Amino acid sequence: MLFFILLTLSGQPKRLVVIGPKRAVQTLNPKIGVHTRLTDEVEEWKIQRTLAMVREMGSPWIVEYFPWGYYEPAKGRYDWAHADMVIDHAVAQGLTVIARIDFVPQWARPEETTFRYLDRDHFADYANFVYAFVKRYQGKVRHIIIWNEPNLSFEWGYRLPDPEAYTELLCLVYTRAKEADPQVVVLAAGLAPTLAPPGSEWGMDDLLFLERMYAAGAGSCFDGMAIHAYGLTFPPDDPADPQEINYARAELIHELMARHGDGQKPCYITEGGWNDHPRWTKAVRPYSRLEYTVRAYEKALAEWDWCQAVCLWAFRYPWPQKSYQDYFAFVTPEFVPKPVYTEVRHYARGEPFEYLEH
């Protein structure tokens, strides 16, 4: 008897987490958003804490990643527990979730391929998963992103980017998603901003990729566009230029859509922002990152009526990434807010800045 008592007491007590009543986000800029990364966050209290900090920062939008391979580990067998937790907590914090869906399970791809490898034989499996996801979260998740950066060979399973194949996938999934919920907003994948030369084995220029998507008939297969808007070393007001990668490249994506009659379709920046790694050639100084981030949110609100949300990369990682990626974060894995979090919160509340001079 003593043994069992000791055994019970020796384990770490689980933190009791209560979802609580629905909260609302207080913010002066309803377009503020962040890309959270709760995919591999195991502990529920950390999921709740992360999303609470998003709300407290004044961000009504989040993009979150829902890997197909995590939730359908075997064909037809679903495990929704983690996704349920993330979505329920997000909704309770008053956040609007944009769900990015990709990641091919092992059973749906050949051996020795990466989890970005999806071939035509399994397009229907992916579409079926999206149907199941949309159906389950109807009423809680209204926006879904189909795949991610298919214009990079890395994101297309290390095959040459194939806009026509991606369009085929998008159209198939669009139909299935609408069967699950006619109100769901299907977003075409955010394309990686890149100036890859024609024929590059590593990627395809995002503007060219999108043109070819339209040529393949993609126009009738999405309700909105996810856009990736990284500023690299340029300020947010640096003008858009097809030969530059900067924040304003998002305008070029929208203009291209408008030329194809899709100017009224909403766009959502689902990744973007600035990095302050001390040595990465595509990073800026930490102070500049504060300035640029606040200005990016301001710009979208004041100048981009076609842009519904700016969800910058990345709010917090469950553990250090041990790479330049850590320098995109707003909050550390230990929940310590970085100066960028502090200043965005001040901006969202209309309060004086702590670090910025204006």
Partner 1 sequence: MSRRRRTGWPLHLAGRSRLRALLWIAVACGAVLFLVLALRLLRGALQRDPTWARIQHDRVLRVGMDASFPPFGVVDEQGGFSGLDVDLATALAERWGVQARFSNVGFDGLYDALKIGKFDLIISALPYDRTMTRDLLYSPSYFNAGQVLLARSDDQRLRSFDDLEGKVVAVELGSEAHQLVRRLARDKGMRLEVSAQREAEQAVALLRQGQADALVCDRVTAYGYMRGTDDLCLVGEPLTDEPYVIAARPDSPLLMEQVTEALDEWRGNGMLEEMLGRWF
Q: Determine, following the binding rule CB under 8 A, whether residue 332 of this chain makes contact with partner 1.
A: yes
Residue 333 DSSP code: T
Q: Which is nearer to partner 1, 113 or 128 (CB)?
A: 113
> How many alpha carbons lie under 13 Å from residue 108 in its C-beta half-sphere?
28
Q: CB of residue 290 vs partner 1: minimum separation in angstroms?
A: 6
Q: Which member of 139, 279, 305, 358 binds partner 1 (CB under 8 A)? A: 279
Q: Determine, following the binding rule CB under 8 A, whether residue 41 of this chain makes contact with partner 1.
A: no
Q: Determine, following the binding rule CB under 8 A, whether residue 285 of this chain makes contact with partner 1.
A: yes
**Cα end-to-end span (Å), the chain:** 66
**Region 295-324 residues binding partner 1, contact defined as CB under 8 A:** 319, 322-324
Tell me which stretch binds partner 1 (CB under 8 A): 1-9, 74-82, 168-176, 281-289: 281-289
Q: CB of residue 323 vs partner 1: minimum separation in angstroms?
A: 6
- Structure tokens, 279: 């040595």
Q: CB of residue 276 vs partner 1: minimum separation in angstroms?
A: 6
Question: What span, in angstroms and rounded, lies between the C-alpha atoms of 290 and 343?
Answer: 7
Q: Evaluate whether 142 touches 186 at the Cβ level (below 8 Å).
A: no
- Per-residue contact flags (x/-) with partner 1 for residues 142 to 161, judged by CB under 8 A: ----------x-x---x---
Q: Evaluate whether 1 touches 278 at the Cβ level (below 8 Å).
A: no
Q: Determine, following the binding rule CB under 8 A, whether residue 282 of this chain makes contact with partner 1.
A: yes
Tell me which stretch binds partner 1 (CB under 8 A): 87-95, 130-138, 250-258, 279-287: 279-287
User: Could you tell me the CA-to-CA distances from 337 to 120, 320, 333 in Å, in that order?
Assistant: 44, 14, 10
Residues 6+ apart with CB under 8 A from 85: 44, 47
**Region 70-109 residues binding partner 1, contact defined as CB under 8 A:** none
Instruction: Scan for tokens 């961000």, then name that residue.
Output: 59
Q: Which is nearer to partner 1, 251 or 291 (CB)?
A: 291
Q: Which member of 128, 138, 200, 325 binds partner 1 (CB under 8 A)? A: 325
Q: Which is nearer to partner 1, 161 or 339 (CB)?
A: 339
* Alpha helix segments (H runs only) across the chain: 2-10, 44-57, 68-71, 81-92, 123-136, 163-180, 206-215, 249-259, 286-303, 339-349
User: Could you tell me the CA-to-CA distances from 327 to 20, 126, 282, 338, 355 in Å, in that order?
Assistant: 32, 33, 11, 10, 18
Tell me which stretch binds partner 1 (CB under 8 A): 10-18, 89-97, 262-270, 325-333: 325-333
Interacting residues with partner 1 (CB under 8 A): 112-114, 116, 152, 154, 158, 202, 276, 278-282, 285-287, 289-290, 319, 322-325, 327, 332, 336, 338-340, 355
